[in-house]
A and B are shown apart, each in its own frame.
Chain A
């Protein structure tokens, strides 16, 4: 099973700040890594697919990069509505797995 680790576990940030979340895979997964945002009492929402591909309707301040085993999600200019948990997910190898999540709080 491919294990995904995320860092940090939790981040408290100020508005307009830049935030970077990392996701590391236990083995190479190419670019088959996706990012989701989940706000309290809501379903996860797709933010970035295949490491760096943007999703229609997602603000441009969200971007992704990486390949192989190391990936990053960057939020440029954090807004209040970005307070949420963020999860990475790999679709390269069964069983599909998710990272443990990064909780982002706005100071």
Chain B
């Protein structure tokens, strides 16, 4: 069974930083592209970043480009999202999601339970 478990969320002040982690199991991790998708309270999902299976390709939404950095460690079956210069617009549940291919241009077939990030003074 595919499992994606996020951690690292919490309350942070504007301008602060946070690092999210996602631990994956139940599939051959280094064969799959992964992504981060966030959902602000009462809103629909918003794509944040995608990373290909070997980290050769990493893409970001304009709203986070230059502030967020996605990475992965295939030896640890994990992906990460380093978030800097956070603002209240970044308040959301952040989901770790899997794409059923090695690249990024694909469906999101499995989602984690999400981790809440709240940016507030």
Where the two chains meet, the residues of A that have a C-beta atom closer than 8 Å to any C-beta of B are 32, 34, 36, 43-46, 49-50, 55, 85, 87, 89, 91-92, 94-101
Contacts and interface: CB of A to CB of B under 8 A. Distances in A.
Given A87-B44, A99-B44, A44 B106 contact: no
Contacts of B107: 34, 46, 49-50, 89, 91
Interface in B71-115: 95, 105-114
A32 B105 contact: yes
Nearest to A1: B62
B99 to A, nearest CB: 8
Nearest to B44: A101
A101 B42 CA distance: 11
Contacts of A92: 105
Contacts of A85: 44
Contact of A96 (B47, B110, B112, B114): B47
B37 to A, nearest CB: 8
Secondary structure at the B interface, as helix, strand, loop or mixed, is loop
A91 B95 contact: no
B50 A96 contact: yes
A43 B111 contact: yes
B109 A49 contact: yes
A55 B119 CA distance: 36
Contacts of A44: 45, 95, 108, 111
Contact of A100 (B44, B47, B106): B44
Contacts of B44: 85, 87, 98-101
B53 to A, nearest CB: 16
A43 B113 contact: yes
B45 A95 contact: no
Among A34, A97, A98, residue most surrounded by chain B Cβ atoms (within 10 Å): A98
B47 A95 contact: yes
Contact of B45 (A49, A50, A91, A98): A98
